[in-house]
Structure 1
Amino acid sequence: MAALPELLKRQVMAHPSRIALRGPEAEFSYQQMMQAAEVVAEQLSARGVKRAGVCGDNTIAWVLADLACLLAGAVSVPVPVFFSESQTAHLIERAGLDGLLHSEEVGGSEPLCHGVWLQPLPVVAAPPIPKDTAKITFTSGSTGTPKGVCLSVAQMTATTLALKEWLAGVELQTHLCILPLATLLENIAGIYLPLLMGATVMVVPLAQLGMTGSSGLNLGKLVAGINQHQPQSLISVPELAMALVSAAEQGQLNSRSLRFMAVGGGRVSAELLARGRAAGLPLYEGYGLSECSSVVALNVPAAECEGSVGKPLSHIDIKVDSDGHILVRGNTHLGYLGYLDDEPEQDEWLDTGDLGALNPSGFLSVNGRSKNLLITSFGRNISPEWLESELVQGLGIRQAVVFGDGEPQPMALITVTDGRSPDHLAGTLRQLNQRLPDYARLATVYIRRQPLSQSEGHITANGRPVRLTIQAHLPTLLAKAFPLSMSTSLANQAGEFHMAFFDRLQQETAQARAHVSGAPVVKAIGEGCFSLESYTWFLTQAFHHVKHTVPLMMACGAKLPSRMEFVRKALVEYIDEEYGHDEWILNDLDACNADKEAIRTGKPDVSIELMVAYLYDQINRGNPAAFFGMVQVLEGTSVELATPLAEQIQKILGLPNQAFSYLYSHGALDQDHFEFFRNLMDGITDPTDQQAIIDSARVVYRLYGDMLHSIPLPATRKEKQHEAA
């Protein structure tokens, strides 16, 4: 099999004048590209450079430097632009680099040619690396110390040719790189693959496309860049895909030129893929890992399966063992930098650390990770144990649990028992964040005052967190904690701030939400001070607002503008699931020996009367999106309180299960509903719609909280009723 350098030269012979690389200020034909790369390669050889770090933003010079390393037989080590100074220093030392290749002048650098600059590094004893290593790709690192994966030219060639074969039926003449070129996926599938297909690679500095660091995004700039360049293919991570789907749904993104848009590097929901297709984006999910030279499975137009990451490519074998672990063989890495004694055999099965399944048709699905590794929606790997140790040591606290798999940034639940205020902790936390790589900076830290206990199943005997139990109880744990929002790396230049709208909604309604979670009835139930009168009064109010849920949804759907068609579609699903729930409540009341027909024709408490009237008014006279403020309140409250409180109430009152169909069903149902709601809210990007939902949620939290405050309690727990508005 011919290797990449020879295959690239064949493309030059086939169409020398065709444009290979196009940037904002220059373009290179295939012949010019090869000539330039050969000149840079000669310069590297003349200077004795054996291992070079390729640095900087996405530019033509970056591509030329990388190709020159291939031609010169020098080891290319891409340096991610989002690495911290300490991580970059670690990479330089660990890889034993002779020099750094830049696309602009830096201190101590000398020009080679065609915009490539060489910064010589002090001579050190180069650590041994596996034979035939041509590229060392450093992952973002599940801890603060990145790991170097050693790959050969043959392995990168095999992946590129397998992708070319897999995409043979797709017309791809132009590709726009929107991921950092130092990302192996973009390096292989965004540079080598298009060039072997005879296509044009468009390389634009990421800042011009609205990207900063590993996770910062100005969506307007990205959309403008795609609209300007009109590529036929893109490679994205879930966070970018979600943003582009929203832009396409709102008519901002012109997707007519796109033929193939790969998405990988993290979990991708089936709903997002469906929304993308409906909006005209040819989204196809794939799966890969650095240890296999990037892509190992991919959906394509000729072979795709919903819920899968596609069929394995032809150059590797995949199987799933009896424990559900995904194993790969055939094109695995040479080894990790610094671990020569642990080099894998090429016929050895590599355990990916992921869990999955192969269906009878050969499509692979990925169901999670066998260990605790978190992967952000930007595709960055984070070890929760690493961040937890940073928090415990940095803050001098007893406990910390980091979570947020699939989220843009990680979050943490910490236990602080020494009385320090949130303001006092905020300063220390921000200092900690500044020391972390930007992809690992905490978005929100939840502060609790009572330690997690072994008796509740949250920690082991030696104090380690029981993650599955904590994840299951997370809504309740967070509801009882104080949320402290951090300024993460998602803050862009010019004061811009990118935060998923659901997270913003949670943050901006936290104070209002406390009126619900702080209602005396919650504590009273925990103390056993709750009566049948209390329960039937609560169910009566529930009936009088739940009976309006479907009519409110229908009214909202009728008023939504065409740009929110995806929301109207979601309402259809909501209506189908919510219809008839008011009758469930009446049946619960009947099981409590209440007169359900009298309740059906009766009137609610003034707080519920005002809440329902307010929502109808907002839909009819204001912004119909305000309806989702009620969804935020009621589904969020159900997730946090329904099941645990229902169990306690049943124990106190001794009522049969038939009296709890509403609370038990909503505690379980709304777990799934709330995830669906999260994704739906993240798709709403119009500032006016977002503010209407936030304002509505604040009002509904107040009125629904007033209802909870008004629940009649036994004499020992009675309190004055709050005003309803």
Structure 2
Amino acid sequence: MSRCAEALLARLVRHAEERPDTPALDDGHRRIAYGELLGEIEGRRARLAARDARRVALPLDNGLDWALWHLALLADGRVDVPVPGFFSEAQRHHLVTAAGLDAWIGPGGSALGFAATLDPAIACREVAFLPTLHAGTGMITFTSGTSGSPKGVCLDRDAPLRVAESLAEAVTPLRLGRHLAMLPLATLLENIGGLYVPLMLGATASLPGAAELGWTGGSGFDPRRALSAIEAFRPHSLILVPQLLQALVDLSPQAPAGLRFVAVGGARVAGSLLDRARDGGWPVFEGYGLSECASVVCLNRPGEPALGVGRPLPHARVRLAADGEVQVQGATMLGYLGEPPVDGWHASGDLGHWEGEHLVLDGRRRDIFITAYGRNVDPQWVEGELCARPAIAQALVHGEALPHNRALIVPATPDLDDRTLAAAIDAANAGLPDYARIGEWRRCAPFTPDNHQLTANGRLRRDTLHETYRDWLHAPADRAQDAATVPRRRHAMTPYQHLQAATRAERDWLLAAPLLTRALSGEVSREEYLTFLGQAYHHVRFTVPLMMACGARLPDRLGWLRSALVEYIEEEHGHELWILDDIRATGGDPEAAATAEPAPATRLMVSHVRDVIDHGNPVGFFGMVQVLEGTSTAIATQAAEGLQESLGLPDDAVRYLTSHGSLDIGHLAFFEGLVDRLDGEDLAAVIDTAKMVYRLYGAMFRGITARDATRELADALV
């Protein structure tokens, strides 16, 4: 056991003696007092030893189980790999393979090759080849990075605990008795600040599930539910990323009673937001850190003037390179998984300067852009000021070599009109110098971890966004409009909005299918559900081959779409096997379903799309994506819930529906970004294919209950 782990357990022993009845962990439904905490940990240590689990994935939601299993892994010195809940199936496969995981505690292991054991919580797998880890690795925290494959940061067992000791020392004067974890515990920042620090202080770590805090998926957030949780748990401390702080302050300008410390980090915080929060009594303290440095490096302390991101914590040494890059030593990573070990000073990629002992950040070195007039601009500064306006949820700013900066704008709600957004941008511009103001903007879909446009802790994945919107962001400036100083949009309707409007009638016809309307209220028979699964198998099994054919036939002007197809293929590979598993769990015969002849509408739908790819414009394939993913997001999750309730089905019988309901929300946002880069004949091809597939897909659903499926198909095509 590491020195810091021994010290933490020693503190737990002391807390058990001095305050045995004080809750150590509380999820809102169950509490574990300090007097029983060590026994709970020991029980899980024994279960891990019985399974000989060495490299263990922890994909659980926030709660007592996450905390207890994590502490057991820490005490035993086993390699702990927290798995963010928003990771896609492909990202999870990558994580399992890259780290050589042999145990999985939580849902979803069977799809990744883990088999059930005598212990219902622990699934295991044989690992023929163990990837080499850096010596001393105790935790691997996977960051979203700038590509679809997450990057593993290898930390020893002491590094996160050393950071926690520094944080505990910094907040001790506040006498914090309760912390509410608002971020996923799989996020290193909350793991350290929301679990280790309260336990070191003898305080209560409140760990309700994500849904109780208002989270939906990786990025959806309901601040009303979050405030209800804050009122229920009455915490003294919180950890927030800027977007959460923005949402909470917008809803509740006055801070909830009892809060003493709200740490904010993960991305740059707009000065105007910090001012508004503090004016309302929110005790906000900005900090700075990186996963490669075991999270927090600097923090503004209570009782000190708030300046920049604060002073370095006791465990960390910080210096600036000649070009202003921030370099850190102390509690840094052993190295990235699969890459050579590192030692010494870690180059952060952030630029900064000192004001006394406080570090002030000047932006990411690679993100700073230089306008056509030679002015350096940190986009995070401008983005922060834009997002401080209630109408704007997210923004990305670009102005390299441009006379006027451009911005991608995500509205706070989809129904906000352009006039409201323009007014918000005007208001932000009024507080910015002329060289930093926004001259052109366009609205777009939300940036989320699911569409690879946002990291787990809320940072923009700029490479992905710049690639997705390259044609607009990097287009040469229009000289006729160079003198304009107010926001403007070049299109009254984006290509994606045009696609939606052009196919509305066909989409409405599909969604009006009697089987779909009955499914939402749980009025579908088991036979009808099995018939649907059988038809789904016969079109889903062609999805990946159609994607591959599309990629092979795309013209050079659309070559940028191939990288998107690669991501889709990684996500969709093997989903037809999920359907066969659902058929088996529902009581059907998967082998018979796989060999049965598909219905005419199903067969014609696949044939039509293949013909578009082979003999028309291959980009038309994305019309099929629009139909299938749009339908999933509209009805899949609700239909699955209705079917389970009415037919008494187990979770294993609705895996295809439940996975696609949530998965395709992120896909659809990603898809919108792709469509917005199309125009002319390419957009027309997508619209044409979508119209036909809506009709054929609707005929498939109607054919499931119709006596004469051929006649139903003919009616659909009239």
Report the TM-score when normalising by structure 2.
0.54
For 2:232 and 2:216, locate their aligned partners in 1 and report how far apart those are by CA, in whole Å.
20
For 2:134 and 2:49, locate their aligned partners in 1 and report how far apart those are by CA, in whole Å.
21
Counterpart of 1:309 in structure 2 is 309
Change (3 A) 1:325 1:118: same
Cα displacement (A) at 1:126: 1.5
For 2:152 and 2:67, locate their aligned partners in 1 and report how far apart those are by CA, in whole Å.
20
CA contact (8 A) 1:445 1:484 kept: no
Cα displacement (A) at 1:105: 9.7
Matched, 1:101 2:105: yes
Matched, 1:480 2:519: no
Matched, 1:72 2:76: yes
Cα displacement (A) at 1:137: 0.3
Change (3 A) 1:267 1:408: farther
For 1:203 and 1:474, locate their aligned partners in 2 and report how far apart those are by CA, in whole Å.
51
Change (3 A) 1:404 1:324: farther
Matched, 1:436 2:459: no
Counterpart of 1:325 in structure 2 is 325
Counterpart of 2:239 in structure 1 is 235
- Structure 2 residue ranges without an equivalent (≥5): 369-378, 388-393, 397-404, 414-443, 455-460, 498-718
Residue aligned with 2:366, SS: coil
**CA shift digits 1:301-356 (9 cap, x unpaired):** 123333x00000011111112211111112211110001x3x122xx221100011
Matched, 1:371 2:366: yes
For 1:265 and 1:450, locate their aligned partners in 2 and report how far apart those are by CA, in whole Å.
25
For 1:110 and 1:443, locate their aligned partners in 2 and report how far apart those are by CA, in whole Å.
43
Counterpart of 1:452 in structure 2 is 475
**CA shift digits 1:479-537 (9 cap, x unpaired):** 335553979xxxxxxxxxxxxxxxxxxxxxxxxxxxxxxxxxxxxxxxxxxxxxxxxxx
For 2:447 and 2:248, locate their aligned partners in 1 and report how far apart those are by CA, in whole Å.
32
For 1:32 and 1:158, locate their aligned partners in 2 and report how far apart those are by CA, in whole Å.
25
CA contact (8 A) 2:316 2:328 kept: yes
Cα displacement (A) at 1:45: 2.0
The residue correspondences of 1:16-415 to structure 2 (distance < 5 A) are 16=17, 17=20, 18-102=22-106, 110=116, 117-249=121-253, 255-306=256-307, 308-339=308-339, 341=340, 343-345=341-343, 348-360=344-356, 362-372=357-367
Residue aligned with 1:7, SS: helix
For 2:355 and 2:166, locate their aligned partners in 1 and report how far apart those are by CA, in whole Å.
21
Cα displacement (A) at 1:220: 1.1
CA contact (8 A) 1:94 1:127 kept: yes
Residue aligned with 1:201, SS: strand
Residue aligned with 2:174, SS: coil
Change (3 A) 1:94 1:359: same
CA contact (8 A) 1:291 1:332 kept: yes
- Structure 1 residue ranges without an equivalent (≥5): 385-400, 410-428, 457-469, 488-725
CA RMSD of aligned residues (A): 4.1
CA contact (8 A) 2:117 2:124 kept: no
For 1:234 and 1:228, locate their aligned partners in 2 and report how far apart those are by CA, in whole Å.
14
CA contact (8 A) 1:443 1:485 kept: no
For 1:480 and 1:105, locate their aligned partners in 2 and report how far apart those are by CA, in whole Å.
47
For 1:214 and 1:287, locate their aligned partners in 2 and report how far apart those are by CA, in whole Å.
22
Residue aligned with 2:286, SS: strand
Cα displacement (A) at 1:2: 3.5
CA contact (8 A) 1:445 1:486 kept: no
Cα displacement (A) at 1:450: 12
Most deviating of 437-446 and 264-273: 437-446
Change (3 A) 1:431 1:123: farther
Counterpart of 2:690 in structure 1 is none
Change (3 A) 1:265 1:434: closer
Change (3 A) 1:106 1:10: same
Cα displacement (A) at 1:258: 0.5
CA contact (8 A) 1:174 1:233 kept: yes
Report the TM-score when normalising by structure 1.
0.53
Cα displacement (A) at 1:14: 3.2
Residue aligned with 2:197, SS: helix
CA contact (8 A) 2:56 2:101 kept: yes
CA contact (8 A) 2:82 2:141 kept: yes
CA contact (8 A) 1:447 1:484 kept: no
Taking only the aligned residue pairs, the percentage that are identical comes to 35
Equivalences, count: 427
For 2:209 and 2:81, locate their aligned partners in 1 and report how far apart those are by CA, in whole Å.
19
For 1:269 and 1:434, locate their aligned partners in 2 and report how far apart those are by CA, in whole Å.
22
Residue aligned with 2:154, SS: strand
**CA shift digits 1:28-84 (9 cap, x unpaired):** 112322211222122212212111111121111011111111112110001001111
For 2:449 and 2:358, locate their aligned partners in 1 and report how far apart those are by CA, in whole Å.
42
For 1:450 and 1:123, locate their aligned partners in 2 and report how far apart those are by CA, in whole Å.
46
Cα displacement (A) at 1:207: 0.6
Change (3 A) 1:271 1:479: same
CA contact (8 A) 1:61 1:103 kept: no
- What amino acid is aligned across from residue 163 of structure 1 in structure 2? L
Residue aligned with 1:242, SS: helix
For 1:213 and 1:41, locate their aligned partners in 2 and report how far apart those are by CA, in whole Å.
31
